[in-house]
Structure 1
Amino acid sequence: MRSFLLLTFLSVISVTNGQTVVLTDPTGDDKGPGTYEYPLDLAYKTGSFDLKKVTIRNNGSVLQTYRLELGIDVNAQLEDVWRMGGGFSLQMIFIFIDTDLVPGSGFTTAPPGLNISFDPQNAWDKCIIISPQSAQRVQKEIEAKLSPEMAKAMIIAKSPRGGGQHIRATADWPEAPKPDQYAYQVIMQVNDGFPLGNDLLTRRVWSAPGIHRFGGGTDDDCDPNVLDILAGKAKGEESEKNEQYKMLQYACAEDGSTTRMPVLRMVKP
């Protein structure tokens, strides 16, 4: 009987091989292309959007459902200022993943509101969203604002919780995950329950900071709405700051349209 129960248990829960990827980012680079400024409200503490470390771990499978365990570290104490119930409410994170490493395979455009693109050599195949909004709200926005093809590539993180300077979550994965064989780009954005236009629950950057507005960009929708990303080899080296600023450079026409959109590259562990 004991042998039967043990075999049944092992058939339900598979043991992970412990694959873990750790990507680090230098502190003090939460300025987008190098010019962005935080809002004036004290809720936006310095470092709140400063990405420090990303951890992605193969968490095995339960009932044939594969999972990734996710960790995001920032450079300030997290607070649930809008009382959303998850221990954080300001941050929104996009984890773009190139799973096949095949040039030209995947998406080079990003969800609306980010104003970025991806190098065709690093096109993304899956994107995990970590949001303090309910999964139902995020799914509704995805279905309304993304193409059916891109919507299928989006994965909403489960049970995101913030504590200290750390956000943790899990994400269901369509197959046995191999984190150390993928390439990544991580975008730090701002959760906005009342996004403008077709933006996907993200907040825009303006020319001057306001109570809840980030400044240092433009008043036209042609600048990247991105505060921090991974750059270089994601080792947390100081040189990666300038690599980020360079990667996020943009240009706008007189009519406010985009003439040069940032082209992001992935990081391969």
Structure 2
Amino acid sequence: MKQPIGVIDSGVGGLTVARELMRQLPKETFLYLGDTKRCPYGPRSEEEVRAFTWQMVNFLLEKNIKMLVIACNTATAYTLTELQETLNIPVIGVIEPGARAAIKFSRNKRIGVIGTEGTIESKAYPNALVAIDQNIRVNSLACPPFVPMVEDGILSGPKAEGIVSNTLQPLKEMNHIDTLILGCTHYPLIKDLVQNEMGSHIQVISSGEETAREASLILAYHKLLEKGNASPVHEFYTTGDIEKFRLVANSWFEEPVRILKSVQIEHVPSSAY
């Protein structure tokens, strides 16, 4: 029996990481849990984020996962170390992989970070960047409107463009970064809007690809890579509105979801934790 990999997020944003994981690890089975009912996590206290994250983790541990991917920057900032020290399975987050990717692409060592209030206040990205290269200069900006916009499926059009333009204006006025980290896994769903607003001279980084690469390396190191040839059956869970979740999932996965007809999206009430 295949042992799955668990992926958790505060909502639909982690689907951007899950898609990259599935692309790079096509033999693996994934269980995705998005806490859409209590999203966004950004404005919440560290204690709330830690409690909610542990509830999601415990739900997936009952399904015998072999690895946990925290596809939420806020949850990564507040719980990664604790989870790594407590659980007996590999646990990875999205912040360090994103930081490494940004440093790789930056030419002038000036990097911007956009994220939720919680992620920005935690200073997790500046700490991760400077830990790698002390010469890096970081400009951070909290973007509270972005997660609700994505969760509501507002991914394009004049309304979305207006929200993105107004929110990013303070960062544009700084005008010296050459690389921008999307410090929330919801943001790749509006990456084109962000790119258009910031300009083609800015390298926009999402952490999904680097996170998936790290997951593959860790699985190989622990000899946990799936070797069978049976097609994986992924499961998607949400604590909130099933149809809204399904709509975003289908729009993001597009062809892979149509091919994987066995994908299941189930409702998980918060009380079930």
Q: Which has the higher strand share?
A: 1
Q: Which has the higher helix share?
A: 2
Q: TM-score, normalised by structure 1?
A: 0.29
